Amino acid sequence: MNDEYSNDIQFENGDLKVSPILVLKRIIEDNYPPGTFIKEIIQNADDAGAKSLHLGLYPGWPNANNPLLRSPLILALNDGDFRQKDRGAINLLYAGAKADDNEKIGKYGLGLKSVFNLSECAFILASAGYEATGTRPFFMPLSPWGNTIKPERAQWTKHYKESGELLFSMINRWQNTLKRWFCVIAPLRTRELVKGIDPICQSYPLPGEIFNDNLSSDIALMLPMLAHIEHVVIWSWVDNLPEKSKEIMIDASSEKRYQLDKLEPAKTHFIHGCVITKNKTGISNTLIYAGCELILSEELVAPLRKDESWPTINVLDSAGEPITKPVDARPHTASVFVRPSTNT
């Protein structure tokens, strides 16, 4: 370039700037209507290989310095795996850690973001003993408001140490019996919390809307179609003490759906058994289920994979660079019929 012109030109970096909050708002609007969080968290736990899942509603701490902890808290704790690549993907928008695994239902890495339908900021905790945690427990405030200039939002992650200590103390008193655990905590969005500021979405869920009368029956219907989860407990806190409200479990003699790598192509696998739900007084009811699953012949989908309209997904490679690749889906199909037991 001629020097006589370069002295008159204004040079500025043209890198695109991305607003995480605007991207997140679009994700919530496009993918997660109200009421999807529990379903997504169950699916994520199953994808992580969890056998047990504990769901709880904690009333919060009215005098906590962190305003988030004054709200009711939804707790989702499971014994699934927590790998280093999972830890790295938690706070990525759109790029999750499951895209290369066709065993996973939630392949697109978005399910955890459904927490923001309930919350302005969430908390991720994990015990020691995982690949991702080593010998020390793990705590992460999951917030899209990192560059906020509003002092109200700054309070949500300011009291980092106190928030972590309160939450770990509560979990350690929780009688969940899991030796190793991963937990998502969602402080419910309230009008008081976001007074004077613009929230992620105009959803102000009440605890009873999430932990409603149908929750245990909805979970019972899901269990036969999950690959790993066999036991779900719903908890409430009474006088600051945890109490089991419902316990939902697959009977030990039941046959659930297989992991995909155990299925032989074009060979039907039969699914059958029962799901038992107990309330806090010990009264139970039973759901009988039966069905089958099948992996179809690859010949049926091979022409579709070659078509330019075959779906793709954006992922990060081993160097952290974004790449676009075809979705590695398998032609798996399953159908299950259920009915209440006539003996209950």
Amino acid at 80: G
- Mean pLDDT, the chain, whole residue set: 85
On whether residue 314 sits in a domain, the answer given is no
On whether residue 125 sits in a domain, the answer given is yes
On whether residue 336 sits in a domain, the answer given is no
Which pLDDT band holds residue 144 (cuts at 50, 70, 90)?
A: confident
Which pLDDT band holds residue 176 (cuts at 50, 70, 90)?
A: low
Residue from 55, 133, 141, 94 nearest 316 by CA: 94
On whether residue 111 sits in a domain, the answer given is yes
In the chain, where do the E strands start and end? 52-58, 73-78, 122-126, 138-142, 182-187, 231-238, 241-250, 269-279, 284-295, 312-316, 322-326, 332-340
Domain hosting 59: range is 17-248
CATH code of residue 67: 3.30.565
Q: Is the pLDDT assigned to residue 323 strictly greater than 70? A: yes
Q: Is the pLDDT assigned to residue 147 strictly greater than 70? A: no
On whether residue 221 sits in a domain, the answer given is yes
On whether residue 10 sits in a domain, the answer given is no
* Buried b / exposed e along 23-50 (16+ C-beta atoms within 10 A): ebbebbeeebeeebbbebbbbbbbbbeb
Which pLDDT band holds residue 325 (cuts at 50, 70, 90)?
A: confident
On whether residue 157 sits in a domain, the answer given is yes
On whether residue 209 sits in a domain, the answer given is yes
Give the model's pLDDT for residue 299. Answer: 83
Pick 175 or 108 by higher pLDDT.
Answer: 175
Q: What strand order describes the sheet that includes 241-250?
A: 138-142, 122-126, 182-187, 73-78, 52-58, 231-238, 241-250, 269-279, 284-295, 332-340
Which pLDDT band holds residue 19 (cuts at 50, 70, 90)?
A: confident
Pick 338 or 344 by higher pLDDT.
Answer: 338
Which pLDDT band holds residue 107 (cuts at 50, 70, 90)?
A: very low
Residue from 272, 281, 285 nearest 216 by CA: 285
Sort 246 into a burial class: Cβ within 10 Å, 0-12 / 13-18 / 19+.
buried
Pick 146 or 243 by higher pLDDT.
Answer: 243
Minimum mean pLDDT range among 8-17, 55-64, 311-320? 8-17
- Residue 118 CB partners (closer than 8 Å, separation 6+): 37, 74, 186, 188, 189, 203, 205, 210
Give the model's pLDDT for residue 33. Answer: 79
Q: How many structural domains comprise the chain? A: 1
Give the model's pLDDT for residue 296. Answer: 86
Give the model's pLDDT for residue 94. Answer: 59
Q: Is the pLDDT assigned to residue 195 strictly greater than 80? A: yes
pTM across the whole model: 0.86
Which pLDDT band holds residue 74 (cuts at 50, 70, 90)?
A: very high
Residue 140 bridge partners (DSSP): 124
- Residue 133 CB partners (closer than 8 Å, separation 6+): 82, 126, 127
* Residue 164: both structure tokens together: 């972590």
Q: What share of the chain in percent tops pLDDT 90?
A: 48
